[in-house]
């Protein structure tokens, strides 16, 4: 990624450049040696493209400043992880380079629990001395994680629900061989829809997957107790207390209302010889996610609203998260159990009565003679049996794909070596179009598609497309061969993809052996491109 602007930064750029010239002026004694470059709101970086708006935090472990900024080229807010240090220091320069390389590798990773890396910029000429590089990511609207717990810890059920996307992102990233670097609370934000997200990518130079798992444990610990359980707690956040052996005390010790399962998974994810001793056990994001999902389901009936802080007497029912679980009334609980039991018995009696009447209706009494067989065929099957068999045969099922290719009407075939990923059954692999400066149809390429060859001719009913590229517009076409002219491939369905799996219904009276997923509009971002993880064709074989 280049990080170089593709156009003018827009109105106000001249004032920003004047400000930038001011902040670049350092005294000769400090030039080239400052670990904290003179960055302030209004300064611009990377040839004037990114104007700093507000500093969100600092990760002093790796000399990183976290900023919200405005992209003057694309006119949108972005998150900047600015690596600072002494350019003359070989170790600092090497560590910065390693962090930037790891962030660049993560730019292909798409997950709802992680802000997408848009660009990576190495020390750009004209930036203040001490800026070693920048990781640019999409801005996460919402609130800082430390702001979330400023009024106290969350209800356990709410904490489990909020943390699920981040735990799922950790597991997916580790399967892809990536490390996210979530072990700092100011790198993590809560979205406007109430989900915790890695907002400032850029892992430590030598961090491994274990740091991500410990980060999950620390974030859960913070939500449950309001304390940070790893080194480097930011200003305003208390550190978690430790026992006589140096191990972090379990959340239940500080807050007895925390369920044992959540307390245990938090401390076991934290435990390691490199941090606070070893309580052992949890080494993967999947292990944390299983506990979160289990408890979030148990608490799904909760409103997840903030409760009144102890001793204030004030109501906060209009806020988003609840800090204490309601305690059930034992008398009401007994009445509820009794009512449910009576209802269950009544339901069983009614179902038994209905079953007896239905059996009597269709089978008749035992004294009425042998059962009557209606219209048996030569194999002894009745009309109703043949009807049931026929209806089962008509149910749409996944149709096996034997081959695939990239279909274009002009110019090159985008990433043709990766096209088999769309039907390999693995959602972790994908095929992606090239990145374009203009949308399809603007004079350079009318469209691009995926041609699937089916193992058997089938009558199609639906095509399911899994993709992270929301806004992609597609047509489903039926073709007579794997390389037809576009005009000979009939349109049998169309739709716009959403993030995740999108089902597109198709209408056709004839079987086909070739299906074309024709992309007429690419997803828009920094540039125009679309990604497809999996395509599944639904239909019935042998129909004409």
Tens of pLDDT, residue by residue, the chain (544 residues): 444 333 333 333 333 333 333 333 333 333 333 455 678 999 999 888 999 999 998 888 888 999 999 999 888 999 999 999 888 888 888 888 998 888 888 888 889 899 999 999 987 776 777 889 999 999 999 888 888 888 889 999 889 999 999 999 999 989 888 888 888 889 999 987 788 899 998 888 888 888 899 999 999 999 999 999 998 787 888 899 988 888 899 999 999 999 998 999 999 998 743 333 333 468 888 889 989 988 877 665 443 433 333 333 333 333 334 444 444 444 444 444 445 555 666 676 667 767 666 665 555 444 444 444 444 444 444 444 444 444 445 678 888 898 999 888 766 678 888 899 999 888 789 999 888 877 887 656 778 999 999 988 999 999 999 999 999 999 999 998 888 888 888 999 999 999 889 999 898 888 999 999 999 899 988 788 999 999 999 988 764 4
Residue 143 tokens read as 């609130």
- The structure tokens listed for 523 are 């997803």
Q: Please calculate the CA angle 232-188-245 and round it to the nearest 5 degrees.
A: 35
Cα–Cα dist 145/222, whole Å: 9
Q: Is the separation of the CB atoms in 515 and 477 below 8 Å? A: yes
Q: Hey, is 470 helix, strand or coil?
A: coil
pTM for the complete prediction? 0.51
Contact (CB, 8 A) for 247 and 286: no
H/E element, 40: none
Closest to 138 measured CA to CA, from 159, 116, 154:
116
Contacts of 343 (CB under 8 A, 6+ apart): none
Q: Which of 149, 146, 137, 140 is nearest to 184 (CA)?
A: 146
């Amino acid at each position: 990624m280049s990080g170089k602007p593709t156009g003018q930064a827009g109105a106000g750029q001249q004032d920003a450049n004047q400000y930038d010239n001011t902040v670049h002026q350092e005294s000769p004694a400090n030039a080239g040696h400052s670990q904290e470059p003179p960055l302030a709101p209004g300064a611009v970086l990377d040839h004037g493209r990114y104007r700093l708006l507000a500093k969100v935090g600092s990760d002093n472990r790796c000399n990183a400043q976290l900023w919200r900024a405005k992209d003057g080229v694309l006119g949108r807010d972005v998150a900047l992880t600015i690596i600072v240090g002494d350019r003359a220091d070989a170790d600092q320069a090497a560590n910065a380079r390693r962090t930037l390389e790891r962030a660049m590798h993560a730019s292909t990773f798409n997950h709802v629990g992680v802000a997408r890396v848009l660009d990576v910029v190495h020390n750009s000429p004209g930036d203040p001395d001490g800026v070693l590089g920048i990781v640019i990511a999409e801005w996460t609207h919402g609130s800082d994680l430390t702001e979330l717990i400023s009024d106290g810890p969350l209800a356990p059920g709410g904490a489990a629900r909020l943390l699920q996307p981040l735990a799922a992102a950790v597991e997916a990233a580790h399967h892809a061989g990536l490390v996210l670097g979530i072990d700092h609370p100011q790198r993590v934000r809560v979205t406007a829809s109430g989900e915790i997200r890695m907002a400032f990518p850029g892992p430590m130079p030598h961090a491994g997957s274990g740091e991500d798992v410990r980060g999950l444990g620390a974030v859960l610990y913070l939500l449950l107790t309001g304390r940070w359980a790893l080194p480097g707690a930011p200003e305003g956040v208390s550190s978690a207390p430790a026992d006589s052996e140096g191990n972090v005390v379990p959340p239940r010790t500080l807050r007895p209302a925390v369920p044992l399962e959540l307390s245990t998974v938090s401390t076991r994810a934290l435990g390691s010889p490199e941090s606070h001793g070893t309580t052992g056990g949890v080494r993967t994001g999947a292990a944390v996610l299983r506990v979160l999902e289990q408890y979030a389901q148990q608490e799904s009936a909760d409103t997840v609203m903030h409760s009144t802080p102890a001793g204030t007497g004030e109501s906060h029912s209009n806020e988003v998260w609840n800090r204490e679980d309601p305690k059930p009334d034992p008398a009401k609980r007994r009445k509820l159990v009794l009512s449910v039991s009576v209802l269950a018995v009544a339901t069983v009696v009614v179902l038994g009565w209905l079953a007896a009447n239905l059996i009597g209706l269709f089978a008749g009494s035992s004294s009425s003679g042998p059962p009557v067989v209606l219209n048996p065929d030569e194999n002894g099957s009745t009309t109703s049996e043949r009807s049931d068999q026929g209806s089962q045969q008509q149910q749409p099922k996944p149709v096996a794909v034997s081959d695939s290719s990239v279909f274009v009407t002009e110019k090159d075939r985008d990433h043709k070596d990766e096209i088999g990923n769309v039907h390999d059954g693995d959602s972790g692999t994908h095929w992606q179009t090239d990145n374009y400066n203009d949308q399809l149809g603007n004079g350079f390429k009318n469209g691009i598609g995926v041609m699937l060859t089916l193992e058997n001719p089938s009558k199609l009913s639906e095509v399911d497309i899994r993709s992270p590229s929301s806004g992609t517009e597609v047509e489903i076409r039926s073709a007579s061969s794997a390389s037809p002219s576009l005009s000979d491939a009939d349109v049998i369905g169309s739709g716009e993809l959403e993030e995740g799996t999108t089902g597109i219904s198709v209408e056709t009276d004839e079987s086909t052996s070739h299906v074309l997923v024709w992309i007429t509009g690419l997803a828009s971002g920094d540039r125009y491109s679309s990604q497809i993880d999996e395509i599944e064709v639904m239909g019935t074989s042998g129909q004409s």
